[in-house]
């Protein structure tokens, strides 16, 4: 049976095992994630802003740019992809349009958060959240868009832990659940005890955001599952690895030669990008002449 992206995600969430979710930023990174057998990805706003604009994740990327990038990513893979909808790009009606646009682009779920616009990466300085009623209005608008025909899951995020403490973050997330959010995400708990409290206090699927060098401890998937998380997101890992590798190759190029051990063989590069599949498809049509 050919399931839709949201239904594929629903099936994954129904299983009693944590989903390890590397995050992508363009179609190629999404394809690599799929090729390596991961069942789910997330289009990270942090890395997508860096890859598309060469700029930080500080609300500089527009709705049109993020949907365009997301459509290309979703078209490149068969695994479900969650999209970063930031603050929804405006008021409640903007949020409804954002949810509709993400569903049309092929996303399985959209994340909507309660930060003040322009938002910030959850592990950097300068972030703040809107008041409770505005935060709840955003999730209400998102679930309304879903009820009106946009088949997409709602991942509700709060950054209230930063300025208002964990109790406020948990209370907001609880209300998000009551409003119909499918997945809950409290950004940047400071230690394992806080992560445990989140999972004990909140119902339904919960996501942990694991940034190497960030504010939240990077626990193993097994430990996260035991605590009660359903998804382990790794938003920066691929980009940080790619940037380090590219800088190393560039530094070697200054000497006129790159160590072959640093490079993926050209045949594998072509295969992973899709040349082999393209030529095979091309040959089928040529054989009919």
Model confidence, pTM: 0.95
Domains identified in the chain and CATH numbers: 5-238 (3.20.20.60), 245-287 (no CATH)
Q: What is the distance in angstroms between the CA of the first residue and the CA of the last residue of the chain?
A: 33
Residue 142: Cβ-neighbour burial (10 angstroms; 0-12, 13-18, 19+): buried
Cα–Cα distance, 101 to 63 (Å, whole number):
9
pLDDT tens, N- to C-terminus, the chain (289 residues)? 799 999 999 999 999 899 999 999 999 999 999 999 999 999 999 999 999 999 999 889 999 999 999 999 999 999 999 999 999 999 999 999 999 999 999 999 999 999 998 776 656 666 799 999 999 999 999 999 999 999 999 999 999 999 999 999 999 999 999 999 999 999 999 999 999 999 999 999 999 999 999 999 999 999 999 999 999 999 999 999 999 999 999 999 999 999 999 999 999 999 999 999 999 999 888 866 5
Q: Would strands 41-43 and 183-186 be described as parallel, antiparallel, or unpaired?
A: unpaired
Dihedral sign for Cα atoms in the order 89, 90, 94, 96? positive
- The C-alpha angle with vertex 110 and arms to 102 and 92, in degrees rounded to 5, equals 80
pLDDT tens column, 164-179: 999 999 999 999 999 9
């Amino acid at each position: 049976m050919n399931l839709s992206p949201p239904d594929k995600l629903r099936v994954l969430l129904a299983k009693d095992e944590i989903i390890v979710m590397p995050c992508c930023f363009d179609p190629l990174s999404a394809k690599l994630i799929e090729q390596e057998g991961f069942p789910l990805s997330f289009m990270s706003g942090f890395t997508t802003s860096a890859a598309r604009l060469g700029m930080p994740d500080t609300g500089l990327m527009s709705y049109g740019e993020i949907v365009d990038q997301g459509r290309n990513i979703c078209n490149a893979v068969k695994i479900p992809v969650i999209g970063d909808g930031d603050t929804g790009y405006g008021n409640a009606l903007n949020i409804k349009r954002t949810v509709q646009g993400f569903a049309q682009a092929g996303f399985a779920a959209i994340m909507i958060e309660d930060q003040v616009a322009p938002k910030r990466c959850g592990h950097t300085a300068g972030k703040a959240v809107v008041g409770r009623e505005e935060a709840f209005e955003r999730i209400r608008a998102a679930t309304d868009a879903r009820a009106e025909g946009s088949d997409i899951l709602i991942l509700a995020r709060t950054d209230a832990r930063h300025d208002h403490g964990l109790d406020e973050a948990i209370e907001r997330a609880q209300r998000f659940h009551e409003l119909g959010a499918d997945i809950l995400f409290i950004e940047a708990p400071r230690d394992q005890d806080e992560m445990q409290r989140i999972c004990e206090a909140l119902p339904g699927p919960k996501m942990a955001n694991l940034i190497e060098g960030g504010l939240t401890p990077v626990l193993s998937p097994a430990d996260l599952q035991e605590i009660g998380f359903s998804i382990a997101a790794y938003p920066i890992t691929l980009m940080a690895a790619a940037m380090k590798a590219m800088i190393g190759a560039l530094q070697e190029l200054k000497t006129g030669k790159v160590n072959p051990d640093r490079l993926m063989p050209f045949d594998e590069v072509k295969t992973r990008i899709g040349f082999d599949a393209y030529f095979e498809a091309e040959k089928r049509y040529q054989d009919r002449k």
